[in-house]
Structure 1
Amino acid sequence: MSLTSFQALACPLDGQPLHRLESNWRCPAGHSFDIARQGYVNLLPVQNKRSADPGDSKEMVAARQRFLNAGHYRRVAEAVSKAVLEGAASAPMRCLDAGCGEGYYLRELAQQAGDVPLALVGLDISKWAVQQGARQARAIGNDHLREAHWLVGSNANLPIQDQSIDRLLCLFGFPVVQEFSRVLAPGGVWIQAEAGGDHLRELREIIYPSLKPERSAPPQPPTGFAVRDEQRIRETITLDDQAAIADLLAMTPHLYRASARGRERAQALKTLSLTVDVRLQTWVKTAHA
């Protein structure tokens, strides 16, 4: 298997191509971005931050890492990997996870890819998430992950050159249609995962007084995209200890949206059976987009 790494990064300050030096990335105008010792690079300028420490906190990242590494969402990861690898060719497939968190889905993809050539990029607005993604990628020793790039950045201003991505993942994240369309090559594939109406219903019934009605129809592809595939992943999982239930609550926005009484009820649980209900939409960029 010939290894490759993604080279089409763009300066977040002026949009010019970035070029890799030994320990940093630099654009022709002289803007320079150091590669941290953990193996990631921060491409989120201060002026583009809405807070001093945007995105998931260190505690949320740690909780999600424990929960996902325990395999609770493995069926979702398998479906995502299959959607990415469908139609793979001999040329390296350039894949961006926009909102990668601590890198679980890219790690699973790298393990499933085998000899399929991949050039992987994980991007998240949370510095803590990207740090963990880079650290875990190094620890695994997978060839695809060894060549992956890990970026602190924003979906609203992707530090990626135009039409340089073949597969774009947005898994339970915040899609930005204009930016996703810009960086995807014609024929490129956008894979969007969203919670279905029954997702974690049993937990939500405990922490909320009432639930919102489910959206009756799946989201439609944005202008310039056509449907390639639609699927729904449903299964029941059981969390059989308080630590796993606490991690699930801590890794989602439910922790902050629930009432104090609702959090108390959830924290008192010793076991919980849950519905996993995920919509997975696969859209392809048309030539006229």
Structure 2
Amino acid sequence: MLICPICQSALSAYENSLRCSNQHNFDRARQGYINVLPVQHKKSRAPGDNQAMVQARRDFLSAGHYAPLAERFAQLMQERQPQHWLDIGCGEGYYSAHIARALSESQGYALDISREAVKHACKRNAQTTWLVASMARLPLATASCQAIASIFSPIDWQEALRVLAPGGAVLRMGPCSDHLQELREQLYDDVRSYDDSKHLQLLPQGLQPIHSETLRFTLTLDDAQARSDLLAMTPHGWRANSARREAVINNTLTTTVAIRYDWIEKTET
């Protein structure tokens, strides 16, 4: 199932590590994850979210503010009952853990480029295989997955096409144009709309959308720490100026949560 990111040979368990036939070795960390992101594939010394961003996301999500999003995502995954599933850009593992509970009879893999994120994710579900890895070079064999989860995460469609089995699918979750609208209006003078279906125009031959739906609800955050965490886990935490960020943190926030789900199926054999 797992392949070497350097030579693409199969990886096998060897003591407390994974090793390929060319002797490329990847150790299992004491927390339980395996780092299969070679230094030559990194664009920086510590790619991905840092510890502060990971902690903010962990605290916000663990408080249940986005629980309806995770529950619906897990339900949609459960409807397909994949034998093997992969969560790309899993972050600190909140959504992956929901999927794993819904698919207790399936084997799950979850990866992120951030080592700090995966260190936290390992604590959420012991049955999931947690990996530090890049979406650009998925360490999974060709046609090995029946479902890929992409949650607020960039996706390399060609890599997704490669690892999906025929009839497998990507379940993508991303923001609608009015997601956090009221928050953005407080942070910026000009709040621009965008096409929340533009990702469908990027699909390569062999992938086609088969189902889309939207989930909306109103979120009220009375706690200053929750508002601070929300800013820290989104690009708004560094895009907006400090005065406007402070104003958001210091006052109760009521905003729209609007999320789009897309099932995108592999049609070619």
- Asked if Structure 1 and Structure 2 have the same fold, meaning a TM-score greater than 0.5 normalized by the shorter chain, the answer is yes
| Deviation by residue 1:56-113 (Cα, 9 ceiling, x = unmatched) | 110111110111111111111122112211132xxx6101000000111111122233
- Match in the other structure for 2:75: 82
Match of 1:193 among 166, 173, 177: 173
TM-superposed CA distance for 1:180, in Å, is: 0.6
- Within a 5 Å distance, the mapping from 1:240-255 to structure 2 comes to 240-255=222-237
Q: Aligned partner of 2:22: which letter? A: A
Counterpart-to-counterpart distance in 2, 1:78 and 1:11: 33
Task: Quote the residue 1:208 is aligned against.
Answer: 188
Matches within 5 A, 1:10-29: 10-29=3-22
Q: Which AA in structure 2 matches 1:54? A: P
| Aligned partner letter, 2:185 | E
Q: Secondary structure at the match of 2:219?
A: strand
Alignment of 1:153-172 (within 5 A): 153-172=133-152
Q: Give the Å deviation of 1:217.
A: 4.6
2:263 aligned residue:
282
Q: Structure 1: 5+ residue runs without aligned partners?
A: 1-7, 138-145
SS at match of 2:200: coil
TM-score normalized by the length of structure 2: 0.95
Equivalent residues, number: 267
Residue of structure 2 equivalent to 1:94: 84
State the identity %.
Answer: 40
User: Using the alignment, how far apart are the partners of 1:29 and 1:110 within structure 2?
Assistant: 32
Contact 1:232–1:277 at 8 Å: present in 2 too? Answer: yes
The two structures, once aligned, show a CA RMSD in angstroms of 1.5
Distance 1:217 1:27, change over 3 A: closer
The C-alpha deviation readout for 1:211-269, integer Å capped at 9, x for no partner, is: 11231756426121122210001001111110000010011111111122322222222
Q: Which contiguous aligned blocks of 4+ residues in structure 1 show a shift greater than 6 angstroms?
A: none
Of 252, 264, 268, which residue of structure 1 is paired with 2:246?
264
Aligned pairs for 1:124-135 within 5 A: 124-135=112-123
Contact 2:168–2:266 (8 Å) recurs in 1: yes
Distance 1:212 1:59 in 2: 28
- 1:234, 1:258 → 2: CA distance? 24
**Aligned residue in 1 for 2:209:** 227
Q: Pick from 63, 69, 72: which aligns with 1:70?
A: 63
Contact 1:207 1:261 survives alignment (8 Å): no
Unaligned runs of 5+ in 2: none
TM-score where L is the length of structure 1: 0.89
Once residues 10 and 183 of structure 2 are traced to their aligned partners in structure 1, the CA distance between those partners, rounded to angstroms, is: 46
> Are the counterparts in 1 of residues 174 and 259 from structure 2 also a CA contact under 8 Å?
yes
